[in-house]
Structure 1
């Protein structure tokens, strides 16, 4: 990889050729072969900031559909448009809506939830009688529940959250019966009826379905029936459910199916279960599950679900796309195998540029679509403002443990990001890889010293020779993290003495279902000013 001073970079190809990619130009024009754990071929095309994208430009695509942490996909077909959102947990603004017209190329739009109501788990995105609804399960200190918000346009404005007072269930799925009744199907095979307007419940939660059981000798995290998704097709109501646990062993999570002629049951388990299941840890995608069915632009059928990339729990659960066919006896069947190879794209639909640039000139403050705060206070957004290409970030707390950082979702296995940072006296600021308030790493500085962050702890280290302003660069190269600093705007760099290995910074060590994310932070008292944030996948 070569980098020039203007931000363009060349990627060496076989035979000495190179493709020049510029952050401002958008999509790349080449497909780049790289190696993967287990020897899987991976010919991802490159897009904004050299990030991998699924559309190979030759009528095929290669998973992941959306790289990085995009778990529990909730998808809605709305005419020629597709909308999708994901569990956002402790990140706010939350529930960014993504848009596509071909199921492969996606762009982020706006975040639907701006007020912190707790940790947001697997949601349901629905449209009924011309109105959009999001049913949002939340884990919070004040008690768990399911909320609903609604809007008359997908970009909002969305309503304030309404508490449906359902404390003991997660993973709602909105469904409409053959008689027009509205329901939320819930984890564990339960459901509850909704009022006609969808903004309150009627009656109590009832148990309606006993999920299929896998053989007792399968290695799983736990039974954990969750994530029901209801789809009507061919005169049947089809229910897809996740069992086996979300993380844990790579062979745990799976997709099972059941169907009924009526929304009221009885439900018949599919004789071909499970529809999706990672059978060995040698496969490209681990813990595959939590699937939804969706009709493609040309009338074909697909499933979206999530999985962990082999060797990269740190990237969280990534969104995957699997082609579906209907069997002679009327059941859905996934046909993409282990998803390690390119697959034919859905036919039809308009192609849009995929993803977004993570580099930022701070001409605007892109909260919700690009940047998110972690566990923000009610006034957290007031800490950040932009003017003349400068992000002003008011310091808070004593360290990243109590100073919510600004975070990005970066979905490549190797990447680098850098930024010009200036601090006032009393401020410590810098770059991080952030999992949560107890597990992060990176480097900060004040006007006198450097502060090393490792394993979620702080150590004051060597004297800072640059004073109040420097340029900092953090590289994550297959879980090996290095930090460099520059006092001359990036013309020359000095490697910080401590390297860090981060392959264990993930859910199966820490819990929380999160990912390791690039982040900016400012702690103490005063303001940090950040300029020219550049990101590139390597």
Structure 2
């Protein structure tokens, strides 16, 4: 998942307002006619037997997918957001609904996990940094449950330093393994809750030509699928971000879990080759069988011109060839693709608007880098979210955030603060890079580039309705003192196309959210989210 340099790109790709930060090419111009779901959010299923990527819009990177009979489950890297590892459910591979958040205790920044089932029990293997200190070593944890809905166990540290992206596999003799970044693996105990041997190197991944423009070699994301006489090992190389032409999908196969591994003669199977393509930096793939016996691959990519949305999950049809290999058939994924047949279509996604009748923590809302007692700050009562103040600004307040997957959207909320409090609405990448508008009893506070800047007078006092519009990176703010009947445009607009990984690092996305800082408690009511076409 994490590879190469954290910053950089092709001659300035990802700078604030760079020409290349805007959509390019015919497939990246006007928004296609996606189907619309909750709050006008785009959904993949077009309702006519086809779907249009992204499968999961917004930041859903490093997908790990499990076929469990007629059901499919999928989760993603959730990094510093908690509750984390939200598990999604589907019965047709195209429409997905959230089930639960499996991880509630902050164990570090959660990278590419692995969801699997073995002998009736579900397992999640979770790579993280052991601490938040710069340069801290990585490890991998495991949690388990007998029901996908939970409860999930407390995390167990597997003590796997300096490796990421575990991929679970069962050998021909029933042995259990985790394949790891760099072409390594480790044997697991029979119960899957500890390592049962040393880390060993077993695979030297295929190398691309040296003149290709990539972020770095960075072999990662190993996923094992057994079909027929072979184990198939899918790996990502080329770096996760940086140049759009870097990330790619390669494959190898072996008749034994112990190798030797034969590289696919057509490597790479997936790679962005032009800045005009709809999807950039495509990689980190897993094979999965559809409900009708067809085969598919899920992987992630950045949307052309919208690094701010993070890495989105994509679905690509797979064809098996007579020589026992396979290929991806979806091309650049810019056009509708026929859905797999069979299965039952769930209603896709979830509403992002919130009347705060219940606390949707872990399903809709997540704290950023929460302290152990963070959840105690949030309560619902009287159709309001009561969020106790923490810190002085979004940078140290652990804001509540959600994932918005559309290129343009608007969100608004009634906000009331106690004396001494500051609260507002934000677009948050991380604690060093965010934008937004807040207020205290007498002044507004503008958040720009992760800095608190202008502080003009606030005519509304300690209660107002606030609205944020992010229209393809152009951000405006409006405020109302009469509950939204009349609005006044705030005299500060922003442009946020550079609030993303290739500028800041971190592999995150620009997320809408709210915060409460200073003293006392802020109350949020009638939160409304709407995607804009």
User: Residues 364-513 of structure 1 correspond to what in structure 2 (within 5 A)?
Assistant: 364-513=358-507
Per the alignment, in what secondary structure is the counterpart of residue 127 of structure 1? strand
> Which of the numbers 229, 234, 241 marks the counterpart of 1:240?
234
User: Residues 190-205 of structure 1 correspond to what in structure 2 (within 5 A)?
Assistant: 190-205=184-199
Residue 43 of structure 1 and its aligned partner are, at CA, apart by 1.8
Give a deviation string over 1:419-476, Cα, whole Å, max 9, x none: 0000011110000000000000000001110000000000242110001100000000
Query: Are residues 1:49 and 2:43 paired?
Result: no
1:297 corresponds in structure 2 to: 291
1:73 corresponds in structure 2 to: 63
Within 2, Cα distance between the matches of 1:460 and 1:245?
39
Give a deviation string over 1:363-406, Cα, whole Å, max 9, x none: 01101111000000000000000012100000000111100000
1:102 corresponds in structure 2 to: 92
| Equivalent residues of 2:285, 2:298 under 8 A apart | yes
| Equivalent residues of 2:137, 2:162 under 8 A apart | no
Residue 36 of structure 1 and its aligned partner are, at CA, apart by 6.9
1:168 corresponds in structure 2 to: 162
CA 123–262 in structure 1, closer or farther in 2 if over 3 Å, else same: same
Within 2, Cα distance between the matches of 1:276 and 1:349?
27
User: Residues 41-440 of structure 1 correspond to what in structure 2 (within 5 A)?
Assistant: 42-139=32-129, 140-141=131-132, 143-440=137-434
Give a deviation string over 1:265-306, Cα, whole Å, max 9, x none: 000000010010000111000000000000000100000000
Unaligned 5+ segments in structure 1 are: 1-34
Give a deviation string over 1:67-125, Cα, whole Å, max 9, x none: 00000000000000000000000000010000000000000111000000000000110
Residue 143 of structure 1 and its aligned partner are, at CA, apart by 3.8
| Equivalent residues of 1:36, 1:42 under 8 A apart | no
Give a deviation string over 1:36-77, Cα, whole Å, max 9, x none: 752226120000000000000000000000000000000000
1:38 corresponds in structure 2 to: 25
TM-score with structure 2 setting the length: 0.94
TM-score with structure 1 setting the length: 0.93
| Equivalent residues of 1:93, 1:373 under 8 A apart | yes
Per the alignment, in what secondary structure is the counterpart of residue 401 of structure 1? helix
| Equivalent residues of 1:428, 1:446 under 8 A apart | yes
2:520 corresponds in structure 1 to: 526
| Equivalent residues of 1:486, 1:493 under 8 A apart | yes
Within 2, Cα distance between the matches of 1:50 and 1:504?
25
Residue 236 of structure 1 and its aligned partner are, at CA, apart by 0.3
| Equivalent residues of 2:368, 2:398 under 8 A apart | yes
| Equivalent residues of 2:383, 2:525 under 8 A apart | yes
Within 2, Cα distance between the matches of 1:284 and 1:57?
22
* Greater relative contact order structure (CA < 8 Å, 6+ sep): 2
| Equivalent residues of 1:108, 1:356 under 8 A apart | yes
Per the alignment, in what secondary structure is the counterpart of residue 259 of structure 1? strand
Unaligned 5+ segments in structure 2 are: 1-21
Within 2, Cα distance between the matches of 1:106 and 1:332?
26
Within 2, Cα distance between the matches of 1:143 and 1:478?
37
Within 1, Cα distance between the matches of 2:373 and 2:363?
19
Per the alignment, in what secondary structure is the counterpart of residue 502 of structure 2? helix
2:5 corresponds in structure 1 to: none
Within 1, Cα distance between the matches of 2:434 and 2:25?
28
Which of 323-332 and 236-245 deviates more? 323-332
Per the alignment, in what secondary structure is the counterpart of residue 375 of structure 2? helix
Within 2, Cα distance between the matches of 1:177 and 1:369?
35
| Equivalent residues of 2:23, 2:305 under 8 A apart | no
Give a deviation string over 1:321-346, Cα, whole Å, max 9, x none: 00000011111200000000000001
Count of residues in Structure 1 that have an aligned counterpart in Structure 2: 504
Per the alignment, in what secondary structure is the counterpart of residue 313 of structure 1? strand
Within 1, Cα distance between the matches of 2:411 and 2:303?
22
| Equivalent residues of 2:26, 2:276 under 8 A apart | no
Give a deviation string over 1:197-249, Cα, whole Å, max 9, x none: 00000111000000000011110000000000000012100000000000000
